[in-house]
């Protein structure tokens, strides 16, 4: 059979480090408050870069590590909630930066679950024979859209900027238990909770006469809103369920997984998921302490850092899971 294999991983974080102490100076918050509730110690914020600019740097590194020429890429999948512009999608801007005219660019908007959805799409395309080399990117520039006044402290302390990318290629799988490939992805959504974590404006809702006007801005509708308690409860439950779904589908046990790469929204969520699964926290690789929540970029950035730290090595069985706005959630089981 033909399977989809991750051939190379890359990441890019903007050089500007913003610590919790830096945020103390502009918001009614404290380093202790942020660490205790989220586990975040610092994050990266851009000076001037765009989302596609971060994605470009991560993509170059992924291509180099995969030893793949950019001209071999026949599809770009770009997951982000913070594109360069409302339209066209950021994938087209990345395609232009890479110098790949004619190559299709697919943008997906599943927020924190975007990379998991992207893995599913790439896996399906490659197994069908439609494409042979896919560049999958998750990238975000949150800092340009955060309310940095004291009013925005509960959300603005959480988010960072960054990008991660993987090159996924078609490879023969002779031994499903040993050969590197994506086993399966399991995707879910529940729009009943869409407004528990969202940005209301700009928008074309029936509640609005204008897509954007001064009153919306004055009311702060262009900033994110989150019902933290509800998100926390649903995230923990849903990520555990998604992990178990992938294991049961592949007739595997949690003990067989070498490394867990979860979405990085809150260290307490990941710790609780680990407890519910009965796994030690040293089997979960976290980056939220250094980068905050980079939404669609968290899992590929984590993969990149885990490789650099020697925690992720070829042949390892890896479980990824994420939960985010929508609500959306899912998991992917793969052998790296």
Predicted local distance difference test score (pLDDT) of residue 157? 96
Any idea of the CA torsion for 85, 91, 93, 96, to the nearest 10 degrees? -170
pLDDT digits (tens, 9 = 90+) for 86-118: 999 999 999 999 999 999 999 999 999 999 999
Query: What residues does 225 pair with on adjacent strands?
Result: 198
Q: What is the CATH number of domain 2-172?
A: 3.40.47.10
Q: Is 85 a catalytic residue?
A: no
Q: What residue spans in the chain does CATH classification 3.40.47.10 cover?
A: 2-172, 181-335
Strands 2-12 and 162-172: antiparallel
Which of these is catalytic: 92, 112, 181, 304?
A: 112
Q: Sorting pLDDT into bands at 50, 70 and 90, what band is 153? A: confident
Distance CA 12, CA 54 (A): 6
Strands 105-108 and 75-79: parallel
| pTM value surpassing 0.75 | yes
pLDDT digits (tens, 9 = 90+) for 259-307: 999 999 999 999 999 999 999 989 999 999 999 999 999 999 999 999 9
Alpha-carbon dihedral sign for residues 229, 299, 142, 210: negative
Among 49, 78, 66, 52, which residue's Cα sits nearest to residue 6? 66
pLDDT digits (tens, 9 = 90+) for 184-214: 999 999 999 999 999 999 999 998 999 999 9
Distance CA 167, CA 61 (A): 10
Q: Is 263 a catalytic residue?
A: yes
Which of these is catalytic: 142, 181, 263, 286?
A: 263
| pLDDT of 176 higher than 90 | no
- Fold classification of 181-335 (topology level): Peroxisomal Thiolase; Chain A, domain 1 (3.40.47)
């Amino acid at each position: 059979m033909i399977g989809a294999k991750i051939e190379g991983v890359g990441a890019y974080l903007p050089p500007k480090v913003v610590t919790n102490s830096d945020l103390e100076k502009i918001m009614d918050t404290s380093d202790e408050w942020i660490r205790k509730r989220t586990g975040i110690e610092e994050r990266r914020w851009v000076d001037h870069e765009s989302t596609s600019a971060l994605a470009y740097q991560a993509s170059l590194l992924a291509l180099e590590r995969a030893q793949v020429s950019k001209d071999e890429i026949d599809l770009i999948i770009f997951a982000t909630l913070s594109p360069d512009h409302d339209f066209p999608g950021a994938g087209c801007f990345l395609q232009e930066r890479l110098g790949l005219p004619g190559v299709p660019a697919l943008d997906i908007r599943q927020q924190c679950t975007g990379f998991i959805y992207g893995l599913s799409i790439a896996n399906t395309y490659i197994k069908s024979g439609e494409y042979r080399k896919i560049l999958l990117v998750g990238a975000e520039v949150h800092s340009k859209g955060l309310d940095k006044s004291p009013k925005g402290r509960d959300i603005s302390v959480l988010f960072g900027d960054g990008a991660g990318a993987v090159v996924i290629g078609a490879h023969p799988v002779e031994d499903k238990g040993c050969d590197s490939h994506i086993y399966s992805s399991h995707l879910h959504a529940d729009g009943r909770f869409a407004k528990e974590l969202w940005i209301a404006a700009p928008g074309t809702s029936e509640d609005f006469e204008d897509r954007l006007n001064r009153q919306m801005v004055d009311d702060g509708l262009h900033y994110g809103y989150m019902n933290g308690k509800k998100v926390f409860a649903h995230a923990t439950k849903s990520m555990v369920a998604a992990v178990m779904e992938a294991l049961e589908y592949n007739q595997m046990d949690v003990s067989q997984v070498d490394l867990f790469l979860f979405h990085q929204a809150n260290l307490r969520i990941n710790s609780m998921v680990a407890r519910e699964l009965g796994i030690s926290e040293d089997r979960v690789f976290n980056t939220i302490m250094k980068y905050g929540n980079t939404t669609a970029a968290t899992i590929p950035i984590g993969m990149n850092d885990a490789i650099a730290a020697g925690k992720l090595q070829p042949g390892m069985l890896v479980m990824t899971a994420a939960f985010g706005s929508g609500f959306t959630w899912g998991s992917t089981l793969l052998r790296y």
